[in-house]
Structure formats: structure tokens, C-alpha cells
Structure 1
Amino acid sequence: MRLQHLPFQEVNSRLRNSGLNLQLGQFCFAITTKLASVAQSLSILYADFEVFDSSVFVDFPVSVASGHNWFSSISKSAEFRFDGYAPFNPLPLQHAPALIEWGMNWCVSSQINTFLIIHAAVIEKNGWAAVLPAPPGSGKSTLTATLIQEGWRLLSDELTLVDPVTFRVHPFPRPVSLKNQSIDIVAKRYPGLVFGPLSTDTSKGTVCHLKPPETSVSRQSESCPIAWIIFPKYEAGSATEFAPKAKSLTFIDVADNAFNFSRLGYAGFYALRNVLDRASCYQLRYSCLDDAVQIFDQLKSAE
């Protein structure tokens, strides 16, 4: 059953008791919370995901709870926990909807070693994936949010999961994190999109999450090979430049962007080498989203 078909009263009951079990890509999360803001955000952003009963195997039991931090200026706070462990300092209570998203990313990036995990967006078209590694502020999420409205399938906004045996990418199609002016840019460009609540005054500014497309969620079990690795960089007022990037430099930069490259050892090295043997590597600098979309259209048609 999809979450949207579950009465909100039942959603709330599960969140407050045994947990709301959601299948997110390869992983099952059991989420508990008594916070109405988190319940509402999950109901909006995860409406198309499958919900399971308590008999399913859970990979990540997680929770967000409110409390008082007596050693901080924050009077009411929200705390994320994974299996009872709190990996982050408490945040202001109004940031709870964003905190659950950040926490779920942390669970996979820090606990999973069955995949080479790259800090990069990844999208798919016509059976081939494009990986977009980029540091914060590069416009990666804005570009990703745009491309998934232009016919590309969302595999992930943050975590590229590469199978170290098959070298295929496995989807983890959760909400796309947008920040500050990017929220308005995407909302105005594509009216009718569904967003979660705004979290203002975070360490990243104003944060809002975009609901993933239903088709991306329904196909979250479909892996695919990587055809392109593209490093995007938004620069206001710049001309659009799209140029090949040396595979030696790409290897270094992707390895630096991987959460568990060193932990995997030879398996990580071997996986990344094989991905690069098969992929074309580029750098993209742009200031106009229309130009970027056109480049990706030409890219997929030329493959």
C-alpha cells in the first residue's frame, strides 16, 4: 500500500507507536515521531512510497523527538536518532522536517558498505545514468530538480549508490533538497510541483524539499549503468561551457566525493575504475537552465 492511501490518523498512529515503515530504494526505514510537522512533511513528500507492516525487516529504525536543551540557547529542540544513537547536535524544533531528511541521508552514507556511495546527484534517461558530483553551492540540486521535470528519472539527489560487482547505479529517489533562491526558481519554472514545509534560518539558509516524481518512485527497484559523469557549476552571468574532463582527474574528484571509498579498499577502487572505463566525463559551467537542459538533451540523443 502506498502512503497516500493510508488514512492520516493511521499514519500518525504508526509514527507514534511501532513506526512507519517506508521502503526507500534498497532500504526500509522505520520512522517514529510525535511531531506533527514531521508527520505532515512525510505524508506530503513520501505519498507515493510503499508502506509495510511491522513484519518487514527494517534496515534503519530512526526517530525525531522534541526536547529541551538546557546547555544551549535553543529552548525547544528536535533530535534525530538512529537505533537510539544521536549523530547530530539538536536543532531548533522548526527544523525537524529537514532534520529527518538529513538524518536518513546520514544513515545510508555512514552505515552502508555494500555500495560505493558517491556524494552526487544521479539521473537516468533511456536506460543510462548521468552522475552529477558537485560541492555545495554548485547548483547541483537546482539542475537535478529541473532535469527531472524534463524527462529524466530521479535516482537520487544526494547519494549515488554504485554496485561494486555490476557497476550499476541503484536508485534512492528521495525528496530533492532545494535552498534559498533555488526554491523560487524551480517553483516558478514548474508551477504545480509539490513541496514540503520551509525550514528557515538553518545552517544552509532556507531549505525546502521537492516531492520526487511518482514515476521515479515506482521504478526505484530498476538499476542502470553509468554513461556520463558531469561536474556542474552554476556561475551567474557566465557563458555556458561544456568540455571533456580527464578521467584521471575525474577519478580523484569522484573518490574525494565518495563517503566510503577508503573503507571499501580495493573493491571501491575497482568499482570506480570500471565505471570510468565505461563513462564519458565532462565539466559544465552555466548560468542559464535552458542551456543546461539543451546540453543534457543533446547528450542523451548522441549516446
Structure 2
Amino acid sequence: MGAFVTHVQSAIPSVAEGIHQIYHDAQILEEQRFADFHVALERPASHRRWLRPQVIFRFDGYTPFKPLPVNQAFALFEWGLNWCITTHAHQYLIIHAAVIEKEGFAAILPAPPGSGKSTLTAGLVNRGWRLLSDELGLISKAGLIQPVARPVSLKNESIEVIRHFASEACIGRVVKDTLKGTVSHMRAPTESVVRAHEQARPAWVVFPKFDTGTAATLKPMAPAQAFLGLARNAFNYSLLAEDGFRRLATLMDTTTAYSFHYGNLEEAASVFNALAEQQRAYG
């Protein structure tokens, strides 16, 4: 998981299946090694475990979430890891954003749920971009992006969109009726996992929005507007106080901001590839 080591315990088959399939390229370390996060996914010890099987997520013995149906165990594992990072990794400014990289330049894609961020990310990393993160943009004090090359979360229609767009993509078990709808996870490309120790310098901040039938359109955004958008999507901007402000200000000084509307992944890939080529030529 890039900068983080996670110790996982679970006797639930779908968790083991998901880790084996979706974290196939992750490095397995000796059990005695230090871990940033110690987590467990367990069946509750009550009579309801037989009537309505459930799963709970534990972090160092603490249970931060309500139990969920046991068929959502792997999804809960992913959501729980997001919680672990956002509540503990305050050495970084943490933005709710995907981050991808090509030709040495990274694009930060901040967006609220339903914007098409993960669909766009899954499409681009299957067209030559390196996945740094699908959910959490981690910005160091030096202004670099720390990769966390974990699975890409796909929801509802985006699952089939990516199946058709990238038939070679490894997509895990589909789980219906979660709080986020129908969900699944796409394995991070092998190269992205292998290179998870390589930080990247951000070049663009792009706010994506999927609109059915819309031509791919990239429009410049005022730095002040982009700054506010990033601040709204940051988990610990207020906690970091002046340091958080400085990191965002530096980010705005060293990147170009855009809004991006798209309705077709092939068109979106062409726009982003042209952006990378332009940056390589003139950057």
C-alpha cells in the first residue's frame, strides 16, 4: 500500500478472496514487522450472526462503523482502510481525490461522489496512466504526491462501463444493495503497485464531471476557485491549519487547474494524453 503497512486478520472467506484477487501484486511482509494499521474483519458474537450474518471492522480493537451484511465484508475492508488513512496520516494533506501520473507529471482529480472520478481514473490507468490513488490524494510537505496504489472503487453503471472499456481489467466480486449502491473494485495495474514508492510532482488539478452524451471539454479554472474546491475536498485542511493553507497555496502556484466534463472514456483519454504530451513538450 505504498507508504503504509497494514496487518489484516479475518476468517471471512470473501475477505481472503478479495485480498488474493484484488491485492494480487501487493507485497506480503513478515507478520512480526511493524504495521501502521492493525485491522480485523469479524462476525459479531451474537445470535444474529446466524439469522442475519454481519461483519464488523475493528481497528486496534476499536469499532468505528456499524455492522454491515457479511457479503459486504471486502467493501467494508476498503472503506475501513480509507478511514484509517484519513484519520491518522496527518503528515500529509489528505484530499478526497484520485491521482494519476504520466510522463512524470501527476493530475489530481478532486470530486464528490457521483462525479465520475473513479470511472475516469479506471479508464485512464487502463490507457497508460499510472495509478497513484483512487480516493486519497496525499500531499507531502515537499509538495509531492505519495502513491497509495490500491484498488479503484467502481459503483453502479461504471462497473459495466469499465468491463467494456478495458476487458483485461481485473474486477472483483459485485456486491449489491450497499449504502453506495452496487459496488465492485478493480485491481490496480501491476506497474502502479510496483512503483508505489515513487512520489510524483503534481502538474494539474482537474475537477471532473461525467455527463452522458457530453463531448470531452477541458476548461481553465481560476486558481482561487480551484483552491476553494480543493479545500472543500480536503479531510484535514483545518486540522493542519497554517501548514494546510501553505500546502494548498503552493499546489495552486505550481499546477494548472481545469474543469473537465466528459461523456465518453475514449475521448477523455485523448484529452488527458494530449495534456501530458503538451506538458512534456513545454514543461
Query: Of residues 101, 121, 125 in structure 2, which corresponds to 1:144?
Result: 121
**Distance in 1 between the 2:95 and 2:201 partners?**
15
Query: Of residues 209, 213, 220 in structure 2, which corresponds to 1:244?
Result: 220
Query: RMSD between aligned alpha carbons?
Result: 1.6
What's the counterpart of residue 57 of structure 2?
Answer: 80
What's the counterpart of residue 11 of structure 2?
Answer: 34
For residue 27 of structure 1, give the secondary structure of its aligned residue in structure 2. coil
Measure how far apart 1:82 and its partner are: 0.7
- 2:235 matches 1:259: yes
TM-score if structure 2 supplies the norm length? Answer: 0.95
Amino acid at match of 1:205: G
What's the counterpart of residue 179 of structure 2?
Answer: 203
**Distance in 2 between the 1:60 and 1:51 partners?**
14
Q: Is the 8 A contact 2:215 2:267 kept in 1?
A: no
TM-score if structure 1 supplies the norm length? Answer: 0.89
Q: Is the 8 A contact 2:216 2:271 kept in 1?
A: no
**Distance in 2 between the 1:176 and 1:31 partners?**
19
What's the counterpart of residue 299 of structure 1?
Answer: 275
Q: Is the 8 A contact 1:69 1:76 kept in 2?
A: no
Measure how far apart 1:192 and its partner are: 2.4
Measure how far apart 1:97 and its partner are: 1.0
Amino acid at match of 2:176: T
Amino acid at match of 1:290: E
Unaligned runs of 5+ in 2: none
Amino acid at match of 1:110: T
- 2:52 matches 1:45: no
Query: Of residues 252, 259, 278 in structure 2, which corresponds to 1:276?
Result: 252
Q: Is the 8 A contact 1:80 1:86 kept in 2?
A: yes
Q: Is the 8 A contact 1:69 1:75 kept in 2?
A: no
Query: Per-residue CA shift, 1:11-47, capped at 9, x if unaligned?
Result: xxxxxxxxxxxxx110110000010110011011111
What's the counterpart of residue 266 of structure 2?
Answer: 290
Alignment of 1:1-80 (within 5 A): 24-67=1-44, 75-80=52-57
Q: Using a 3 Å threshold, how does the CA distance of structure 1 residues 93 and 255 change in structure 2: closer, same or farther?
A: same
Measure how far apart 1:236 and its partner are: 1.2
Identity %: 43
**Distance in 1 between the 2:6 and 2:119 partners?**
26
**Distance in 1 between the 2:187 and 2:210 partners?**
23
Q: Is the 8 A contact 2:118 2:134 kept in 1?
A: yes
Higher RCO (C-alpha under 8 Å, 6+ residues apart): 2
Amino acid at match of 1:119: H
Query: Per-residue CA shift, 1:125-172, capped at 9, x if unaligned?
Result: 0111000001111110000000001110000000000002x1000100
